[in-house]
Homo-oligomer: A and B are copies of this chain.
Amino acid sequence: MGVTKTEHFTENQNQIAIMMKALGHPARIAIMEFLMKSDSCICGDIVAELPLAQPTVSQHLKELKNAGLIKGNVEGTAVCYCIDENALEVLQLYFAGMSSNLEKQRNKCC
């Protein structure tokens, strides 16, 4: 097989999984951290920063964009990529909710 059975899970579970999957690669984590720390969001600067070829970086950017984690603005010949704050908030709230939920249930088993 090799096909994920997305249809058996809730829309929310699939949505979270898609975002997590996009973040499940060190290059894409590095891109997110670069966009967060740096003043620049120019694609060329990301390519220069990462130890990967330009087509590879372009592909990683595309995946982050498809997952809704970043957005891209064309500026002349350059493209400016930025973190989508809404997406990040979804993730932040998801994990905050999980953590506080765990707190309540402590020592229930194991």
Contacts and interface: CB of A to CB of B under 8 A. Distances in A.
A25 B29 contact: no
Nearest to A100: B92
Tier of interface size on chain A? 35 or more
B26 A4 contact: yes
A13 B36 contact: no
Interface string A12-37: 01101110111111111110110011
Nearest to A91: B95
A43 interface: no
A32 B99 CA distance: 12
A95 B101 contact: no
Contacts of A98: 32, 36, 83, 88, 92
15 contacts: A5-B52, A9-B51, A10-B30, A16-B23, A16-B29, A17-B23, A18-B24, A21-B21, A21-B24, A73-B110, A81-B110, A83-B102, A92-B96, A92-B99, A95-B95
